[in-house]
Structure 1
Amino acid sequence: MGQDKIILAGLEFYGFHGNHPAEQQLGQPFIVDLELYLDLEPAGRTDALEATVNYGQVYRLVQEIVTGRPYKLLEALAAAISDGILAGFPVDEVLVRVKKPRAPLPGSFDYAAVEIRRRRKE
């Protein structure tokens, strides 16, 4: 497996995830960063979309997951995203970072986040 990757950063969607009832009722923004690991040499040689991952389709999948059913934990949301990408796209590995800029925490902070990295099972 090569270390080539496609990066999608700062995908922002409105979702209803959180452990507190108010979070699931009112919703809030979530920001997703992705790194998709795969061999990009064929795409570089052929200049053909079929030789790579269509990141417009990845975007739509992530949008569907984040704006869909609510999850209590960021860990579960990130796992759903990674599972969907591994099931639907020819990537060897995926890194998913889900940021929650309005997490119910006291004080000042940029965001709470979870980052997971999953590899295709052989």
Structure 2
Amino acid sequence: MTTPFTGDRIVLNDLGFYGYHGLFGEEERLGQRFFIDLQCGVDLTAPGNNDEIGHTVSYADIYDVVKATFEAKRTKLIEALAQNIVTGLFEAFSDIDWIIIRVRKPEAPIAMVRGEAAIELHRTRPT
């Protein structure tokens, strides 16, 4: 196994979703935008050398798992949402060794004029 969070990676940034995650009733009722940035540690040597899809994890398939997990279960905390996505990705893709995920919430219910609230998880595949 490679050193966590170094080496090759598949990156998906600024994935936008509309969802109903959050602590407050307004968040559950009205929903809001969320953005997800994702890095998945995958050895990309084989696809780099042979130019064939069968030797890598498809970023389209990663997106599908993120979307399905985001929509499957409402969470109160974005930390739980991020962990659910990480768990789903590890279950779906045995080639992923580690994941860095950031969940951003630009309309968090706090009095900010500009910016966003976010969390970031760094996870390695459970042994």
Tell me, yes or no, whether TM beats 0.5: yes
How many residues of Structure 1 are paired with residues of Structure 2 in the alignment?
122
Q: Which residue of 2 aligns with 1:6?
A: 10
Cα offsets for 1:56-104 (capped at 9, x unmatched):
1111111112223210000000000111111111200011100000000
Structure 1 residue 107: Cα displacement: 2.6
Cα shift at 1:22:
1.0
Distance 2:69 2:91 in 1: 14
- TM-score, normalising length: structure 2: 0.91
Structure 2 match to 1:42: 46
For 1:36 and 1:99, the matched residues in 2 are separated by 18
Please name the residue that 1:100 is paired with.
105
1:22-58 Cα distance to aligned partner (Å, 9 max, x none) = 1011111110000010111011011111111111111
Aligned to 1:19: 23
Alignment of 1:1-122 (within 5 A): 1=2, 3-89=7-93, 90-122=95-127
Is there any run of 5+ residues in structure 2 with no aligned partner, and where?
none
List alignment gaps of at least 5 residues for structure 1. Answer: none
2:57 counterpart SS class: coil
Query: Partner letter of residue 64 of structure 2?
Result: R
For the Cα contact (< 8 Å) 1:15–1:68, is it kept in 2?
Answer: no
Contact 1:32–1:98 (Cα < 8 Å) also in 2: yes
RMSD: 1.1
Counterpart amino acid of 1:120?
R
In structure 1, give the amino acid aligned to 2:112: G
The answer to whether the Cα contact below 8 Å between 1:31 and 1:98 also exists between their aligned partners in 2 is: yes
SS of the counterpart of 1:102? coil
Any runs of at least 4 consecutive aligned residues in structure 1 with deviations exceeding 6 A, and if so which?
none
What is the alpha-carbon distance in structure 2 between the residues aligned to residue 110 and residue 66 of structure 1?
22
Contact 1:99 1:114 (C-alpha < 8 Å) held by counterparts: yes
